[in-house]
Amino acid sequence: MAQRILVIDDDTDICLLLRRFLSKNGFDVAIAHDGTTGLETLENFVPDLVLTDFRLGDMDGETILLNIKQKLPQVPVLIITGYSDIKVAINVMKQGAYDYITKPLFPDEILLTIKKALSHPSHYVNIAENPINNENELPISVGKKPNQSKYIFGDGPESNHLYKQVDLVAPTNYSVLIYGESGSGKEAVALEIHKRSKRASGPFVAMDCGAISKDLAASELFGHEKGAFTGALAQKIGHFEMANGGTLFLDEVGNLPYDTQVSLLRVVQERKVRRIGGNREISVDVRLIVASNERLIEAAKKGKFREDLYYRFNEFSIDVPPIRDRKEDLMAFAQFFLVKTNDELNKNVQSFSSEVIKAFHEYPWPGNLREMRNVIRRATLLSESNMIEASTLPFELINYNRLLFNEPTNISPQTLGTTFETPKYYVPQPIIAQPITALSKADLKSAALEAECEMILNVLKQVNFNKSKAAEVLGIDRKTLYNKMKNINLNA
């Protein structure tokens, strides 16, 4: 039976293209043009994967993701987003999205990401069993250790400081609180602590507290007995029991519901758990490592996180620096991802052009290592030689400084990437203005047209050249927008 995919996008052309393309590749595809219809479709069409635009007319990506996860918690969700929304998209990934895909869309990239998502095991896994193949693994730069080939090792001051902290706390049994921006490699640091600890032979169990619904948080942590609540059809072992004798890593722990925090405090103090609906207390020997991208003491002051629980966790804290502060190791990270992607795609791309290296150092990488991994995966896929060239990078990345200071760009966005089979319905991609010779007269009508042209261009940039969104912002329909673009010599 063909695997099912639900596509949700308010652009009819994109939906039709994706359905045609995915159907040709053996998938059973349903489409919806807004979030409400998409959620209604789930009642009769249970998909194996959902592919949804981040910006829909009636709801945002965060809302639709939450609703999908409540209905079908194990179904992977891929978010389609403009490159300017990467930081927001990564925030949605913390809440359970499997991955994001940036526009313009490339068929091979979409197919590759879908296949990886469908072949990936449940998000909640014991990654000690297979750490190299875990999708969430990110490289960390923690100093030179010859027997640890699974990671790259940086020599920058930030990396050396991080290594010293990991090396110091790993042999102890302290609870560790790891701070760092999304995508900076907090889970990799936690795994490294586990591997260097006396518990290395025990399990390492990771749980993303932001990727589960509030109703299921306690069940995931502590387990439940059969019949404990509606839907509890069998006994479930919680993450504490799974991690017995090893390490439990709680990512984005600040997202746990307040009532679950109360129960967690008791478990941390007593080292005993009671499954939901059960009467027996079960002793557990677990080391806790927790992570957050916000300061938990600040969350405690706002009443969102229990202060006593914060102090239980904070026996030792580590700050994982963002990639923009680790420029000495930047290209080592890039090469690490290039090697892994070559293996994945069976390609032989060897290096990066000088222009790409320069762009990498200038770009602030708001999505950190996770964003870099996706950029290099896409660039390797598009590369036709043994070197990654600027033309394979997202337009906004290679032209970051020029866009920041509103300078002319060197690379035409139209040269970036391939298209689906039918250019007429190609997923919206950047446009470039041709010289507007007809607007040279200094009369009122020409001035008005010139102002209109500038406004259209500015709005298109703000919405990442999504013409449907641009028309909505401008208060016109899309056909009118196309006509206006044609009249002022804007070529799509």
Tell me, what CATH number does 232's domain have? 3.40.50.300
pLDDT for position 318: 94
Share above pLDDT 90 across residues of the chain, in percent, rounded to a whole number: 29
Which residues contact residue 476 at a Cβ distance below 8 angstroms, ignoring those fewer than 6 apart? Answer: 484
> What average pLDDT score do residues 417-446 get?
41
Range of weakest confidence among 216-220, 337-341, 390-394, 416-420: 416-420
- Same domain? 436 vs 347: no
Residues 176-192 have pLDDT tens digits of 999 998 888 898 899 99
pLDDT for position 484: 75
Which residues contact residue 431 at a Cβ distance below 8 angstroms, ignoring those fewer than 6 apart? Answer: 413, 414, 460, 465, 485, 490, 491, 492
**Is the pLDDT at 7 greater than 90, yes or no?**
yes
Q: Does residue 93 sit within a domain? A: yes
- Same domain? 196 vs 309: yes
pLDDT for position 222: 92
Which CATH number covers residue 107? 3.40.50.2300
**Is the pLDDT at 467 greater than 70, yes or no?**
yes
Which CATH number covers residue 467? 1.10.10.60
- What is the Cα–Cα distance from 83 to 398, expressed in whole angstroms? 12
**Which is more confidently placed, 438 or 241?**
241
**Which is more confidently placed, 129 or 42?**
42
φ, ψ of residue 468 in degrees (nearest 5)? -65, -45
- Same domain? 170 vs 297: yes
Q: Please classify residue 370 by burial: count the beta carbons closer than 10 Å to its beta carbon, then call 0-12 exposed, 13-18 middle and 19+ buried.
A: buried
- Under a CB-based contact definition with an 8 Å cutoff, are residues 81 and 101 in contact? yes
> What average pLDDT score do residues 172-176 get?
94
Which residues contact residue 355 at a Cβ distance below 8 angstroms, ignoring those fewer than 6 apart? Answer: 389, 390, 398
- Same domain? 311 vs 347: no
Q: Does residue 127 sit within a domain? A: no
Domain boundary among 298, 321, 344: 321
pLDDT for position 404: 57
pLDDT for position 145: 38
Q: Does residue 13 sit within a domain? A: yes
**Which is more confidently placed, 414 or 139?**
139
Mean of pLDDT over the chain? 79
Domain boundary among 405, 425, 445: 425
- Same domain? 337 vs 221: no
- Same domain? 288 vs 362: no
- Same domain? 112 vs 229: no
> What average pLDDT score do residues 13-31 get?
90
**Is the pLDDT at 489 greater than 50, yes or no?**
yes
**Is the pLDDT at 36 greater than 80, yes or no?**
yes
- Under a CB-based contact definition with an 8 Å cutoff, are residues 144 and 164 in contact? no
Q: Does residue 141 sit within a domain? A: no
Take residue 152 and report the two structure tokens written for it: 């790259």
Domain boundary among 119, 139, 172: 119
Q: Does residue 56 sit within a domain? A: yes
Bond into 131 cis (ω within 30):
no
Q: Does residue 333 sit within a domain? A: yes
- Same domain? 281 vs 207: yes
Q: Domains in the chain: how many in total?
A: 4
Q: How confident is the model at residue 60 (pLDDT cuts 50, 70, 90)?
A: confident
- Under a CB-based contact definition with an 8 Å cutoff, are residues 331 and 154 in contact? no
- Same domain? 402 vs 438: no
**Is the pLDDT at 245 greater than 90, yes or no?**
yes
pLDDT for position 402: 62
- Under a CB-based contact definition with an 8 Å cutoff, are residues 177 and 314 in contact? yes
pLDDT for position 420: 45
- Same domain? 162 vs 217: yes
Q: How confident is the model at residue 487 (pLDDT cuts 50, 70, 90)?
A: low
- Same domain? 406 vs 436: no
Which CATH number covers residue 368? 1.10.8.60
pLDDT for position 143: 39
- Domain containing residue 417: 324-425
Q: Does residue 132 sit within a domain? A: no
Range of weakest confidence among 19-23, 124-128, 286-290: 124-128
- Same domain? 168 vs 227: yes
> What average pLDDT score do residues 223-234 get?
82
**Is the pLDDT at 305 greater than 90, yes or no?**
yes
Q: Does residue 73 sit within a domain? A: yes
What pTM, to 2 d.p., does this model score? 0.61
